[in-house]
Amino acid sequence: MFFLNSVRDSFPLPAIYEDDTGLLEGLNFSEQENGDQRFLLQKKEEFLASGEVPLTGPGGYATYIYCFNSPLLNYIKLFPLVQGLLVGLYIALGYFLFSSSKRSEQNRVWAGMAKETAHQLGTPISAIIGWIEYLRDSLGDDPAHLEVLSELNKDVDRLELVADRFSKIGSDPVLQTADMFQELSDVRQYLERRAPRKVFFDFKVPEKPLYAMINKHLFAWVIENLVRNSLDAMDGKGTISCKLYKQNNNICIDLSDTGHGIPSNKFKSVFNPGYSTNKRGWGLGLSLAKRIIEEYHKGRIFVKSSKPNEETIFTIVLPITG
């Protein structure tokens, strides 16, 4: 006890003194805890369980002193961890800002190229329209000539549509409520006339009309890209199917084909710019489709499943209206 009294005022750390009778006395705990045997016994057991070795009393007396870290020392132990977390957070924030800046720059370049393409297409399209009108006036009412001019007009209309689509990239598109099956059918009619004869289209009519807010020109572009990819994957024969249905508060479109299929480890990378299995392709179609669906229509597009030469399904999910 003399030893405890001699160090009481100068000892800086929490400690427990145990005399030769087993009586425990606390030092530098709270006033109540210093004399609480149950509390001190619990702290002693924690000390021994940690593998620490107690100090023996002076002169070899059968007394023990169990020393503990102060709260301040425990906080100091956490400092490297906190410092590491702060450094990690700083690095993550820097990476996020850098990535966002890079992505924003890429988007501006993408939008600028699209608008410039639309602008460059405008001049020759206007010239072609003028030549068609000149030919119509020059050739008269010959049915054969009129049929050719009619087809030329359709192709010019198509070029104008393509230019209009490019001009909308990078700007806020106007969305309007549309009957989704009707929009899908319009794209089907256009592509079915241009598909190989051994390719069949099976677009199932939903039980009731389903409506969503879309930009018709851009949405049609997405479906065209998906169908063209299906045509490339089927080597001139097979079936392209489309199923339109409601799920929760969304409209889902399952567009499938019987082509070569997509490996499961490529389900996400097929949407990356430049990814293409077609030697003549640029690998921009699916990347553009993803941008249109997710950024402009607040929806999702993904590969649902794929079995080579059996069925590959792309799914589009859009918020429902009406």
87 burial via Cβ count (<10 Å: 0-12, 13-18, 19+): exposed
Mean pLDDT per block of 10 residues along the chain (322 residues) reads 53 65 65 68 71 58 55 66 83 82 70 74 82 81 81 83 75 86 93 90 92 92 92 89 93 94 89 73 78 91 91 93 64
* pLDDT value of position 62: 45
Q: Sign of the CA dihedral 44, 45, 49, 51?
A: positive
pLDDT digits (tens, 9 = 90+) for 255-296: 999 988 898 888 998 888 777 766 665 567 888 899 889 988
Fold of 176-321: Heat Shock Protein 90 (3.30.565)
* Token pair listed for 124: 């020759």
Q: Which two tokens stand for residue 206?
A: 């939903």
Summarize the chain as % helix, strand, coil (round to 5): 55, 20, 25
Residue 135 corresponds to which amino acid? L
Instruction: Please state, in angstroms and as integers, the Cα–Cα distance from residue 76 to each residue in 9, 68, 73, 90, 135, following that order.
Output: 24, 14, 5, 21, 88
Give the pLDDT score at 227.
Answer: 93
Burial class (CB in 10 A: 0-12, 13-18, 19+), 117: middle
Name residues whose C-beta falls within 8 Å of residue 21's C-beta, 6 or more positions apart in sequence.
none
Distances (CA, A) of 216 to 95, 115, 241: 37, 18, 20
pLDDT digits (tens, 9 = 90+) for 94-127: 888 887 777 677 667 666 777 777 777 777 888 8
Count of CB atoms within 10 A of residue 139's CB? 13
